[in-house]
Amino acid sequence: MSRVLGLDDARALAAAVLAAHGTSEVNARATAAALVAAEADGLASHGLSRLPAYADQARAGKVDGHATPVVDRPKPGAVRVDAATGFAFPALDAGLPVLESATRALGVAGMAIANSHHFGVAGHPVERLARAGLVGLAFANSPAAIAPWGGARPLFGTNPVAMACPRGAGADPLVVDMSLSKVARGKVMVAARKGEAIPDDWALDAGGRPTTDPAAALKGSMLPMGDAKGAALVLAVEILATAFTGAAFGFEASSFFDAEGPPPRVGQLVLAIAPDAFGTEGVVDRVETLLAAMGEEPDVRVPGARRFAARRHAEAEGIAIPDDLADELARRAA
């Protein structure tokens, strides 16, 4: 069974939970908004189901709920944000306006976020840039879940990558957003809870062997999409999100799912490009030409369309969350 909450009520509930567990009002609002936005877009794995773990980590000090992000400009086209072991969303809120301003002045700019936490939906910050008329790209690392190709020890996270581009005529932006594991680790966790087998091309056990046992998979590693090519892309994202930000590598980072250990200190890199940065005219029009050609195919969907449809429905009808989760959040907010 599930319970329907309006978006304002959901944001207020999530903020109250975080505030009750040692998070400042401004950080609680920013984090609650991000989690509810994920729910509204139909991305529940990054939504309110994360809130109990977030709250426990804030109470334990694994994430600093009172952190104040520090923004500086080491180079004209470079924005650096120290999340100060707080939640990622206040750091994004602090840095994105500075990144946008730098991009408008210079054509191309980048933002490095260090000492950070779970990035949430990678498509959301780049969508914000696209709605401001800029092209955005985002790269993030996460705690280790994927082994190098041919290996058994997880070193890399599932490392999301996202890109968003503005469109013409008031259309929603094009948003490409994906993690780099073949399937979400959450699917393996669900199978483990249900006692169900998984396909043998989802994950490896601790010895590096394909497994259909979800419990063995959770002790081993996820397989990357695209096999060896995907593993190379995971490595590329790991480097972009950590070496350039000063963050912890995936194998050095603690879990996002419990309150044990030190702060994860992961990193994110966001790049922004003005459509006219290279002197090319009609960039958005050219994008529309390509998307129109895609639309002539009967079964082709423009990336991002499904989440925008879900968002409009949620804005009108609210979001449905499981009763047990709703009850837990109400208890935690009290």
Task: Report DSSP letters for 194-234, one per residue.
Answer: HT----TTSEE-TTS-B-S-HHHHHHSEEPBTTHHHHHHHH
- Average pLDDT of the chain to the nearest whole number: 96
Question: Average pLDDT, stretch 153-157?
Answer: 96
CA 185/CA 308 separation, integer angstroms: 24
Which pLDDT belongs to residue 1? 87
Q: What is the pLDDT of residues 74-94, one digit of tens each?
A: 999 999 999 999 999 999 999
pTM of the model as a whole: 0.95
Could you please report the per-residue DSSP string of 121-153? -THHHHHHHHHTT-EEEEEE--SS-BPPTT--S
